[in-house]
Structure 1
């Protein structure tokens, strides 16, 4: 991304292409660039993003419940979904090994 800064050196605009006003280029993962993008989001966008993690957990719980009750088989899910659910389950298992509090995750996947 190419950026434009104000007199204080604060990023005020972005462009995908270089121009007379956008001469400085930053990598996409630059901290200043990410902070600028985050600050330019609407309150609705920020609220939606904050619920994404919780919603993902709800969906994991629903899948677990459906599998547990025999409504679906885990193998009925697309392979990509199976891989993602198993990866998250493994990460939660590793995290639980260091947490002192139980987060109630006992889903049979």
Structure 2
């Protein structure tokens, strides 16, 4: 069982293992509100992870451009992942460019 805290609109904002001042309402693990909250939280984390990955890639690129880091300084697995993502981004960017007409916008 889980204890939940809700906001003024009735949406779950936190889950606790034990009842406390903020969370007196007990829900079963398969309660629809609890499932929705966990799914939304997972989506938020996934979005945040994606954004953070892009920031890390940009930092690595800046460090390499400033000769503070060589790609070969990184473990082989990290090198492969970075190069793979860079290649994928480039391919996607080129593909999207084919859909854009500079005079009319998206084709």
TM-score w.r.t. the length of structure 2 is 0.53
Distance 1:85 1:42 in 2: 29
Distance 2:36 2:79 in 1: 35
RMSD over aligned Cα, in angstroms?
2.4
Give the structure 1 partner of residue 83 of structure 2.
Answer: 86
Secondary structure of 2:67 counterpart: coil
* Deviation for aligned residue 1:44: 4.1
Describe the shift of the 1:42–1:97 C-alpha distance in structure 2 as closer, same or farther (beyond 3 A): closer
Give the structure 1 partner of residue 57 of structure 2.
Answer: 60
Please identify which structure carries the higher strand content. Answer: 2
**Which of residues 34, 38, 43 in structure 2 aligns to 1:41?**
38
Distance 1:88 1:64 in 2: 12
Distance 1:94 1:75 in 2: 23
**Which of residues 89, 93, 98 in structure 1 aligns to 2:95?**
98
* Deviation for aligned residue 1:80: 0.7
Which stretches in structure 1 are left out of the alignment for 5+ residues?
Answer: 1-11, 14-37, 102-109
Give the structure 2 partner of residue 77 of structure 1.
Answer: 74
TM-score w.r.t. the length of structure 1 is 0.52
Distance 2:42 2:92 in 1: 29
Distance 1:66 1:81 in 2: 15
Distance 1:88 1:80 in 2: 12
Which stretches in structure 2 are left out of the alignment for 5+ residues?
Answer: 1-28, 101-107
Greater Cα radius of gyration, structure 1 or 2: 2
